[in-house]
A = this chain, B = another copy of it.
Amino acid sequence: MNDSQPLSESTHIELPDVWDQLDEIVKAGESEAAINFLNALPPGEEARILAQLSLDEQQAFLKLLDGEHAAWLMETLPELQAAQLLSSLSPEQAAHIVDEMNSDEQVDLLDQLPEEQSEKILEVMNPEEAENVRFLSKYTSLCAGGLMITELLSFEESQTVDDVVSDLRQNAERYAEYNVQYIYVINHDLQLVGVLRLRDLLMAPPGKRLSSLMIPSPLCVPDSTSLQELQHFFDSHPLFGLPVVDEANVLVGVVRREDVEEAGEEQAGKTFLRFAGIMGGEELRSLPLKIRSARRLSWLSINIVLNIVAASVIAMYEDTLSSVIALAVFLPIVSDMSGCTGNQAIAVSTRELVLGVIRPRDWIYVFKKEFALGMVNGLALGLLLGIVAYIWKGNAYLGLVIGGALAANTLMAVCLGALIPMVLKGFKLDPALASGPILTTITDMCGFFLVLSFAQAFLPLLT
């Protein structure tokens, strides 16, 4: 915090230099040099420089660091890579590092490991830390319980301002790592009864009891509250943190705005990758080839089967095709364009679902909106492609067949694209991963069918 350098003045280190330097440090085995190296990395560049090292290099480097710096390194790396690095260490080495991390990061990281392995690490960790991790890891990561931190300040309602201030003074060191925004007031049964802002403490007479100073019955959420509900909450309330209670209204933690927004951002990134067919929504190029290839292939192999199914429609019309070979030129265009128009609608629905602007049961509203748009864009695209077909072969009927098929297929693709994510969401399935393949399979089949059956009907006029 005492660095007067403005951020943007950080010089851009050339990568090969950095890695040569790192190589030397690792070869020399100098802990001090390693720590100096870490501290000298330009802010904002650490993740990039460290993430591009191979697992072996990361391991060799990590061995030179003390627990605190090793924990910092883990927190800086993308989660997937940190977990991989951790699992390459002995349980004792891993525990030593995890002990130094914050409660929510401990849980997130250990969650990435196979249960057997994380259990071994927990066994050799500081018992108090391990117990806290076990308590937190019973929650799934995308609910209030999974996002909350347990490092909070709570006092009983019968205590006075003076009690609090002297406790703050005495434990200043322990609280140094806490992000203190509010003080939570609890009763004898540990139930949350009030909340107090730090600034209100500043202005209150020392002898006053918390019960008369606090804001009573504060907003709070059950530990099962979903990430989406939390996002909506923080969108409409200018608060930094929100206390989390269990079924008995006992205060169990605090979920902070920053953690909710970080989780939201991560989710948005994962949605984007899943939408493009990356299983699990995460891939980094530093992962082993086997894992990367398998993650992509698993989605591709489903896709190729669906593609073959869709293209089998063409096989049924081989006669029509061989009579009007020009149709073969337009089949990929119709298939591709319907995929594009449908994907736009999928993206808008997925985004509106995430924003909370629509819910699955609003499908009539969405259908009406998309139907109108599908009519307009279908006519526009159909007209365009129809004219191209007409000009190319000088046959107006060919233009009519191609244009009509594309227009009809566009209308269908737009409506389907809008509704598929809502249906999947309604069945609690993941809209991002499955919507695309479902859409393109249907639109391809219909597109091929429309072009070829229209062509068959007009066959005498086309040749």
Binding site for B on A (CB under 8 A): 1-4, 6-8, 15, 43-48, 51-52, 76, 78, 165, 168-169, 172, 179-181, 195, 198-199, 201-203, 215-222, 224-225, 229, 232-233, 235-240, 245, 257-258, 261-262, 264-265, 268-269, 271-273, 275-278, 283-286, 289, 292-293, 296-297, 299-301, 303-304, 307-308, 310-312, 314-315, 318, 321-322, 325-333, 335-337, 339-341, 343-344, 346-348, 350-352, 354-359, 361-362, 365-366, 369-370, 372-373, 376-377, 380-381, 384-385, 388, 392, 440, 444, 448
Contact = CB atoms under 8 A, between A and B. Distances in A.
A448 B335 CA distance: 15
| Chain A contact surface mostly | helix
Contacts of A331: 328, 331-332
Given A304-B333, A307-B333, A277 B343 contact: yes
A273 B268 CA distance: 11
A428 B62 CA distance: 36
A215 to B, nearest CB: 6
A225 B238 CA distance: 25
Given A7-B229, A180-B199, A325-B318, A293 B373 contact: yes
A329 B327 CA distance: 11
Given A277-B340, A296-B344, A355 B47 contact: yes
12 contacts: A1-B215, A1-B218, A7-B219, A46-B236, A52-B357, A52-B365, A202-B202, A265-B268, A297-B377, A301-B381, A304-B384, A311-B329
Contacts of A286: 357
Contacts of A262: 261
A311 B285 contact: no
Contacts of A329: 311-312, 314-315
Given A1-B218, A168-B202, 12 more contacts: A4-B219, A7-B222, A47-B232, A47-B357, A168-B199, A179-B240, A257-B258, A269-B355, A272-B351, A293-B380, A308-B388, A325-B325
A9 B187 CA distance: 23
B297 A337 contact: no
Given A314-B329, A373-B293, A15 B265 contact: no
Given A168-B203, A225-B7, A377 B300 contact: yes
A219 B372 contact: no
Please state the number of chain copies in the assembly.
Answer: 2
Contacts of A48: 356-359
A350 to B, nearest CB: 8
B179 A238 contact: yes
B277 A372 contact: no
B385 A221 contact: no
Contacts of A7: 219, 221-222, 225, 229, 233
Contact of A169 (B203, B321, B440): B203
A372 B289 CA distance: 8
B1 A347 contact: no
A354 B203 CA distance: 44
